[in-house]
C-alpha cells in the first residue's frame, strides 16, 4: 500500500538484485525507515528483534533469509544450518516453520549450483502468493462493503470498526482485515475506520492508524472502551478483524478484546466479520474456548507504555503503582455464534463446520 | 481507608482546628502528598486544578471552602461571593451546586457572628453523611459478596471486576463500588479485584489499584480488553461498578467501556451490579440511551498518556501518529436490561422503574 504517496510492500528485493529491504516496524508510528538485509543473519535478527512481525511477513523474511544463505554457501550443510538458525528466531511461529519447510523441500533435491537462483525465485513466489491471497480476501470483503454503501445516503460513509493490526504491515501487502477497506477506498467508496488502540501493545494506534493515514483512508483512533457506545449510536456499520487461529467450527482466536466487540456487535445487530487466509484455520480443533491455550504475556506490557515525549525522544513510561500485580492474557476466543462470517481467499463462509468444510473440503477431510 | 497502614479520609480538619487538609490526587499513583487549604481560594483551586475529584469529595471541599470564607468574613456579601467563586470552579458538577446550596440555606438566615462556627459544623456533617451513605452501600453490597463466598471452596477468592474509580478517593471515605469490597476484606473474606485500567484516563491503575494496594486488598490490574476473556474462563464472580447518573428505569451512565463489561457479564451469566448513592438517580429520565448526552472530551486524552519515565520524572508521551484524528466519548449507557441490581444506601433495587420508585417513593413522586 502507499507510504508518503508511493506504493510499496513490506519486503522487496533491492535494486542490486540480491539484497533484501524491509520496513523497520519497531519504531512506528514515529519514524519510517527501511533496512537493507545482506545476510541470512540480518534476516534472523530482523525476525527476532521484531523489525518484521505478522505471520506472513515473518515467513517471507525467512524465505529470503534462505536465499541469502544459499548465495553465500549452497551446500546441504549450509541449507540445514540456515533453516535451523532462522527457525530458532521465533520457534512458536507456525508460519515461519511452514515457509522454511517449503523452501527446503524445493531446494534440498536440487544440485547445489542452482539452489541460490531457485531460492530467490521461490521466495518471490511465496511473497506473490501472500499478496494474491490477501487481494482475494479483499475482493470478497469488498462486496460486503459495497452492499452496505448502497444503503447509505450520499456523503454518508460506511463505518468499519477494527481491532489490533490485521493490516498490510503484517503481510507482504494488502493485509487481511484491511484488504477490503483498501480496495473500497481505492475504488472511491466512502469508507471510514474506527481504529481500536488495542491495549496493551497499541497495535491499533501504532500500526493500523499509521497504515490508514499513509494510504489516505479516513479514520479515527479510539480507546478500546469506546466501540460499544459507537455501535449503540448507529456509528458502526460493520466490525472487521483479523484472527490468529480459527477452529473448524468457526471459533475465532484473536487479540484480547475482540470478543467484547463481537458481543457489542451482536447486541446492536451489526455484522461481525473476520478476515483470514485459510492457512490459519485449524481443522483439527472444534472448541476454541477449551482447546486454544491463551498466552499470558509479561505484565510489563500493561504497566509500561512506549511513546514520544515532548522533547522528541521515544520513551517507556510506567502507568501503574509500583506494587500492583498485573495480569496480561494476550488473546481471547470469540465463539462462532457471534461471528457473522469468515472472509477467506476462496469466499465468505458462515462460521460453522459445514460451511468451512464445504469451502475447504481437501483440508477438512485431511483433518479427520 | 488505609494509606501506609493508617486510616484516613480524603478531606479532614487540621489539628489547628480551622484549616483543612486533602490528598493531592493529581500526582497519583507515583506520589502521595497531603495539602493544607487555608483559604476559600485554596479550596477553589483544589477543585479547579483537580487535586480533589469525584462528586462527593468536590462537594465536601466546597463546603469547607465556605467555612474558610466565613471565618475570614461572615457578611452576606462574602457568603454570596464565596459561593459564586466556588461554583465557578466546575460549573457542571451537580454535586458542587448541591453542597453550596445546602450550606447557603443553612448559613444565610443566621446572624453573621454564628456563621463560621455553623459552617464548619455543617461541612463536617455533610462529610459524615457521605461516609454514612457509602457505608450503607457497603453493607448491602457485602451481603452479595458473602453469598458468593459461601459457594466457594476454601482458599478460593471471590473475584470482582471493577471499571474506573468508584473508590474512596472520589468520596470522603469507603467509595461506592469499593465499599462492599473494603467491608468484605476487613471482615476477613477472601476477595480479589480485577482492576480495569480504564482508558483513556487510566483511573483504574492510577487510583483504584493504588487504593486497593494501600488498603491491602488483593488485586490485579488488567487492560480493559481482558475482562471478557476472564469471564469466559470462570475467573469473575461479579462485576461491580459505580455510575455518574442513573435513570428512573435503571439505565446506568458510567465511564466509557462499562457497557462492554455488562454485555460480557450477561453472556457468561455473571451478576452485574452498580453501586450508587441515590442522589445520582435522575427520576426525570426514562431512557438513558436517548436522553443522556455523552460528553466528547479532548482527543489528547487518547493520543497522550501520563506516566513515570525511567529517570523518575513524570512525563506525558504521545501514542498515536501525528496526523491521526481521534474520537473520545467519555461515558456510555448500560441499558437496565443488563444490570442485575442497583446497590443504594437503602438497599438493593432491581434496575427498573417500579423497584426504584418503591425504594425511593418520595423522589419518584416528586419527579412526576
Q: What percent of chain A has pLDDT over 90?
A: 94
> Which CATH code for domain A138-364?
3.40.50.10470
Alpha carbon distance B65, B68 (integer Å):
5
CA B78 to chain centre: 31
Residues of B in contact with A290 (CB under 8 A): none
Residues with Cβ within 8 Å of B197's Cβ and at least 6 positions away in sequence, in order, are: A199, A302, A319, A320, B204, B205, B221, B222, B223, B224
Paired strand residues for A326: B221
CA-CA distance, A274 to A288, in Å (whole number)?
15
Give the contacts of A343 (CB within 8 A, at least 6 positions apart): A137, A140, A141, A144, A180, A273, A274, A275, A276
pLDDT at B364 over 90: no
Mean pLDDT of chain B: 96
| Candidate CATH numbers 1.20.120.420, 2.30.38.10, 1.10.3720.10, 3.40.47.10; the one for domain A2-129 | 1.20.120.420
pLDDT at B16 over 70: yes
User: How many CA atoms does the CB half-sphere of A209 hold within 13 Å?
Assistant: 29
B199–A223 C-beta distance less than 8 A? yes
Residue A218 in grid coordinates: 479516513
Chain A residues 228-287 with CB within 8 Å of chain B: 228-230, 232, 255-257, 259-261, 263-264, 267
Is B315 close to A315, i.e. CB distance below 8 A?
yes
d(CA A330, CA A324) in angstroms, rounded, equals 19
A157 touches chain B (CB under 8 A): no
CA distance B212 to B350: 28
Stretches in chain A below the pLDDT threshold 70: 368
d(CA A168, CA A174): 5
B92 pLDDT exceeds 80?
A: no
Backbone angles phi, psi at B246, to 5 degrees: -125, 140
d(CA A293, CA A253): 10
From chain A, pick out residues whose CB is under 8 angstroms from the CB of B230. 327, 329
Spell out the long-range contacts of B110-117 with Cβ–Cβ below 8 A and sequence spacing 24 or more: B112/B74, B112/B75, B112/B76, B113/B74, B115/B70, B115/B74, B115/B79, B116/B67, B116/B70, B116/B71, B116/B74
Active-site pick, B244, B251, B282, B332: B244
A-contacting residues in B 332-351 (Cβ below 8 Å): 332-333
Q: Which of B279, B285, B292 is nearest to B360 (CA)?
A: B279
Helix, strand, coil % over all residues of chain A, rounded to 5 = 45, 20, 35
pLDDT tens by residue, B33-80: 999 999 999 999 999 999 999 889 999 999 999 999 999 999 999 999
Segments in A73-208 forming alpha helices (H):
76-87, 94-107, 112-150, 178-186, 203
End-to-end CA distance of chain B: 39
CB B161 within 8 A of CB B191: no
Best mutation site among A254, A309, A312, A321 for testing chain B: the one with the most B CBs within 10 Å?
A: A321
ipTM value of the model? 0.95
Q: Would you give the DSSP letter of residue A14?
A: -
Q: Are the beta carbons of B189 and B148 closer than 8 angstroms?
A: no
**Residue ranges covered by each domain of chain B:** 2-129, 138-364
B176/B138 Cα distance (integer angstroms): 7
What's the confidence (pLDDT) of residue B231?
98
Chain B residue whose CA is closest to A325: B220
pLDDT at B201: 95
Cross-chain residue pair A260–B29, CB shorter than 8 Å: no
> How much is the pLDDT for B351?
98
Cell triple for residue A259? 470478543
- A333 contacts A289 by C-beta, under 8 angstroms: yes
Chain A interface includes B290 (CB < 8 A): no
Interface of B with A in 177-196 (CB under 8 A): 194-195
Do the chains contact at B229 and A332, CB–CB below 8 Å?
A: yes
A interface test, pick of B199, B294, B320 with most A CB neighbours within 10 Å? B320
| Strand-strand pairing, B245-247 and B314-318 | unpaired
In this predicted structure, what is the pLDDT of residue A356?
A: 98
In the annotation, is A42 catalytic?
Answer: no
Pairwise CA distance, residues B90 & B86, whole Å: 8
Cβ proximity of B328 and B297 under 8 Å: yes
User: Which residues have C-beta within 8 Å of that of residue A77, sequence separation ≥ 6?
Assistant: none
Helices B40-48/B76-89 angle, 10° precision: 20
Closest CA in chain A for residue B32: A321
pLDDT digits (tens, 9 = 90+) for B207-260: 999 999 999 999 999 999 999 999 999 999 999 999 999 999 999 999 999 999
Give burial (CB, 10 Å; 0-12/13-18/19+) of B320: buried
Is the CB of residue A319 less than 8 Å from the CB of residue A304? yes
Write the pLDDT tens digit of every residue in B21-46.
Answer: 999 998 889 899 999 999 999 999 99
Task: Calculate Rg over the CA atoms of chain A.
Answer: 21
Q: Does B157 reach chain A within 8 Å, measured CB to CB? A: no
Task: Say if A27 is an interface residue toward chain B (CB within 8 Å).
Answer: no
Name which of B253, B273, B276, B281 is nearest B344 in CA terms: B276
- Peptide bond preceding A29 in cis form (omega within 30 of 0): yes
pLDDT in tens, B270-287: 999 999 999 999 999 999
Q: How near does any CA of chain A get to the CA of B150, in Å?
A: 26
Closest partner residue to A228 (CB to CB) among B198, B263, B320 is B263
Helix (H, G, I), strand (E, B), or coil: what is residue A299? coil
Contacts of B170 (CB under 8 A, 6+ apart): B53, B54, B55, B56, B57, B176, B207, B242
Closest to A329 (Cβ–Cβ): which among B30, B229, B310?
B229
For residue A365, give the C-alpha cell. 477431510
CA distance A64 to chain B (A): 30
B234 Cβ neighbours under 8 A, 6+ residues apart: none
- Separation of first and last alpha carbons in chain A: 39
From the list A209, A227, A260, the residue facing B321 with the nearest CB is A209
pLDDT tens per residue, range A334-367:
999 999 999 999 999 999 999 999 999 999 887 7
Pairing of the two strands B252-255 and B245-247:
antiparallel
Whether the link from the prior residue into A200 is cis, omega within 30° of 0, is yes
**Min Cα separation A183/chain B (Å):** 20
Q: Give chain B positions within 8 Å (CB) of A329.
A: 226, 229-230
The reported pLDDT for the residue numbered A368 is 66
The C-alpha angle with vertex B151 and arms to B150 and B152, in degrees rounded to 5, equals 95
Amino acid at each position: 500500500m502507499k507510504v508518503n504517496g508511493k506504493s510499496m510492500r513490506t519486503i522487496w528485493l533491492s535494486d542490486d538484485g540480491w539484497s533484501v529491504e524491509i520496513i523497520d516496524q519497531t519504531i512506528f508510528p514515529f519514524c519510517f525507515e527501511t533496512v537493507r538485509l545482506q545476510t541470512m543473519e540480518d534476516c534472523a535478527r530482523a525476525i527476532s528483534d521484531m523489525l518484521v512481525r505478522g505471520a506472513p511477513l515473518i515467513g517471507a523474511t525467512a524465505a529470503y533469509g534462505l536465499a541469502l544463505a544459499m548465495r553465500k554457501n549452497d551446500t546441504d550443510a549450509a541449507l540445514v544450518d540456515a533453516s535451523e538458525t532462522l527457525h530458532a528466531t521465533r520457534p512458536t511461529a507456525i508460519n515461519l516453520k511452514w515457509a522454511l519447510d517449503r523452501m527446503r523441500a524445493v531446494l534440498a533435491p536440487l544440485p547445489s549450483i542452482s539452489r541460490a537462483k531457485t531460492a530467490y525465485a521461490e521466495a518471490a513466489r511465496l511473497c506473490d502468493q501472500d499478496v494474491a491471497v490477501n487481494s482475494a480476501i479483499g475482493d470478497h470483503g469488498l462486496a460486503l462493503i459495497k452492499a452496505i454503501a448502497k444503503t447509505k445516503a450520499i456523503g454518508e460513509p460506511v463505518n468499519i470498526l477494527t481491532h489490533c493490526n490485521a493490516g498490510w504491515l503484517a503481510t507482504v501487502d494488502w493485509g487481511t482485515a484491511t484488504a477490503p477497506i483498501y480496495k473500497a477506498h481505492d475504488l472511491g467508496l466512502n469508507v471510514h475506520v474506527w481504529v481500536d488502540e488495542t491495549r496493551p501493545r497499541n497495535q491499533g494506534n501504532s500500526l493500523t492508524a499509521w497504515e490508514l493515514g499513509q494510504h489516505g483512508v479516513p479514520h479515527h483512533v479510539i480507546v478500546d472502551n469506546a466501540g460499544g457506545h459507537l455501535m449503540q449510536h448507529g456509528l458502526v456499520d460493520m466490525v472487521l478483524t483479523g484472527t490468529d487461529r480459527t477452529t473448524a467450527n468457526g471459533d475465532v482466536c484473536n487479540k484480547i478484546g475482540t470478543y467484547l466487540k463481537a458481543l457489542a456487535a451482536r447486541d446492536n445487530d451489526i455484522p461481525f466479520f473476520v478476515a483470514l487466509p485459510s492457512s490459519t484455520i485449524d481443522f483439527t480443533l472444534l472448541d476454541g474456548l477449551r482447546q486454544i491455550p491463551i498466552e499470558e504475556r509479561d505484565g510489563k506490557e500493561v504497566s509500561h507504555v512506549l511513546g514520544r515525549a515532548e522533547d522528541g525522544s521515544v520513551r517507556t513510561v510506567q502507568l501503574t503503582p509500583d506494587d500492583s500485580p498485573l495480569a496480561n492474557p494476550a488473546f481471547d476466543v470469540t465463539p462462532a455464534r457471534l461471528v457473522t462470517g469468515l472472509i477467506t481467499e476462496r469466499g465468505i463462509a458462515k462460521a460453522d463446520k459445514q460451511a468451512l468444510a464445504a469451502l475447504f473440503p481437501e483440508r477438512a477431510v485431511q483433518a479427520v
